[in-house]
Structure 1
């Protein structure tokens, strides 16, 4: 665009796990954010100025996220986006809130993130909300009542399990047992043996692709035939690549519907795979959305003043994105239907959608 390059760039801070255990998600996060910036700039930028993404690696660690947030503040950013997990995002949120810099958590789900303050927003459904959706999927949509929980013992896993337990009874679910495991665990023999004895109809298992891949493989290899329901932590081609044939038939609650016919979803999925060389996932869709929502708010604010951008974010209503229309409530949370995807022939495909504004309502305070 003639002239857009000459105008001073609007700098957006971005942190994600580019190295370490979560680097697979960090890569998707970075590529999703970069794609949004490229598309916005190709269309003339925001207020006639190009966007520039200033990216730092936080290794998904809280003790890295704080110095990274401070470094970003020193880079002259007008707003920031987390492309990271809950621990790192909670830590960084406090820094940006104190500095009066608008901050959007793309896919971290811990409830405390938005409660940090009025400059913090989230484009994901919080963990408890996703857990409630999981209970409806198993108890009502699948009609399965005997359930075992396998819970990752961190912010992510615990918040999902809390939401599931909160609504299990409402859907006639009996929780037969719950097992917890640590994020570094990859050998699940003891849990598999116990689950086999429990003989559940369904397993609600939280985890990220690098824990879920081995867990699902070992459950199936151990002869456990129960329905396995995961959630957005599984939402990566990496999960399918690790679990291979064992991934077939696994259901996940997530934010991205691969079979949507909505143009903003189709355009994103096609453009992302072309850029990345691998299929779009929930993480990429969420960071892509976070950049778009932020760019829209800067445009609405008519400038880069922190408070004006914050107010414009808070006023976002029905903004169309790859993960559905975005409207923020008083806490900076969004309501969106939960997409249920199933692994079929090595790809995630549409299975169902849970559109239940009462069940899935985020808290407003």
Structure 2
């Protein structure tokens, strides 16, 4: 009988002095560098704490970090490289389209990949046992956002959007959820419109909310400035479901205009003891309040450490290391399951809020709706 070669998970447990995890993070433009930094700091803090507690069966955990720069091809190449180095698993990534490319290569190579932040429902084309995800699927989070819009009295929604699978998917989720409930979505194509033209387009259709399904800072910041300064649009609510206002750069660039822009955030209303302790440690490392992305990074390593501690070398040769996971993360108990229409193992669901920056104190957040 031929013995099958060990999976990368088994190799990561048995080769070398350390147990290595490959970390995929956007650390240079055109990637969202600020989000990537928060994600990496969360990953690093958890690795530090795992090692302080004795590592994995006495062996230290080590991160091998690769910058994806929001480039799917670069991410796929990094997966190939890290698999060749014998990493135990892959972790991270923020951008959905990039994570999809990484997941495809991880599945093909049989490398466990725990995606931290990307939300696109179709993270893989086919069901796989190798990939799992912490962040809620886009269809889940954006329906919660649509509920918030309806509850706030918004039925006619305009979306300023760019060409992207992610933005197109978000627009579709909103339209399909709002239409049966008396709502409608009008698309404003930012490949042809300037921020001033967006203002003109908003005057006649009667939309009461404008959602920014565009990149940050360009063109999101100029759009906000233009709309805020147009007196005809004083009653228009600006929203950003993808989370652009979460990070300090948003407030720094927009000042007072940064407030009252609701977005999705994946945190509970109140953190438990673990979450509160980690929040303080993340704040110390970041120098600012940690975003939900930093918590996602931390929880990713918590899950992978549990997997590596609990599975023996023989079991590690098989796919699907996720089904037995039940571990306390910073935002609740993490378990994975199958969700119809989603091909990866999914935590169902991380706590989800709609929040904005308080107009009276733009450095503080207000919880507007909880899903």
> Structure 2: how far apart are the matches of 1:285 and 1:188?
34
> Structure 2: how far apart are the matches of 1:40 and 1:179?
47
Runs of 4+ in 1 over 6 A off after TM superposition: none
In structure 2, the CA distance between the partners of 1:56 and 1:352, relative to structure 1 (3 Å rule), is same
Gaps of 5+ in 2: 1-15, 339-343
**Which of the numbers 64, 79, 84 marks the counterpart of 2:89?**
79
> Structure 1: how far apart are the matches of 2:270 and 2:194?
36
> Structure 1: how far apart are the matches of 2:182 and 2:289?
36
**Residues 131, 162 of structure 1: 8 Å contact kept:** no
Instruction: Note if 1:14 corresponds to 2:30.
Output: no
Structure 1 match to 2:330: 322
Structure 2 match to 1:188: 195
In structure 2, the CA distance between the partners of 1:198 and 1:320, relative to structure 1 (3 Å rule), is farther
Q: Secondary structure at the match of 1:148?
A: strand
In structure 2, the CA distance between the partners of 1:300 and 1:145, relative to structure 1 (3 Å rule), is same
**Residues 78, 305 of structure 1: 8 Å contact kept:** no
Structure 2 match to 1:360: none
Q: Secondary structure at the match of 1:270?
A: helix
Query: Scaled by the length of structure 1, what TM-score is found?
Result: 0.86
In structure 2, the CA distance between the partners of 1:181 and 1:304, relative to structure 1 (3 Å rule), is farther
Q: What do the CA deviations read for 1:263-320 (whole angstroms, capped 9, x no partner)?
A: 2322222111100112211222222221111111222214596445x53423324x33
**Residues 129, 320 of structure 2: 8 Å contact kept:** no
Structure 1 match to 2:11: none
Instruction: Note if 1:349 corresponds to 2:359.
Output: no
> Structure 2: how far apart are the matches of 1:294 and 1:350?
32
Q: What do the CA deviations read for 1:171-218 (whole angstroms, capped 9, x no partner)?
A: 43233x211335xx9952211221233342222322344243333222
Q: Secondary structure at the match of 1:20?
A: coil
| Aligned-residue RMSD, C-alpha | 2.4
Shift of 1:348: 4.7
Instruction: Note if 1:339 corresponds to 2:325.
Output: no
Instruction: Note if 1:52 corresponds to 2:62.
Output: yes
Structure 2 match to 1:363: none
Aligned pair count? Answer: 342
In structure 2, the CA distance between the partners of 1:214 and 1:264, relative to structure 1 (3 Å rule), is farther
Gaps of 5+ in 1: 1-6, 356-365
**Residues 130, 160 of structure 1: 8 Å contact kept:** no
Q: Secondary structure at the match of 2:79?
A: helix
- For CA contacts below 8 A with separation 6 or more, give which structure has more relative contact order: 2
In structure 2, the CA distance between the partners of 1:195 and 1:260, relative to structure 1 (3 Å rule), is same
> Structure 1: how far apart are the matches of 2:280 and 2:330?
11
Query: Scaled by the length of structure 2, what TM-score is found?
Result: 0.84
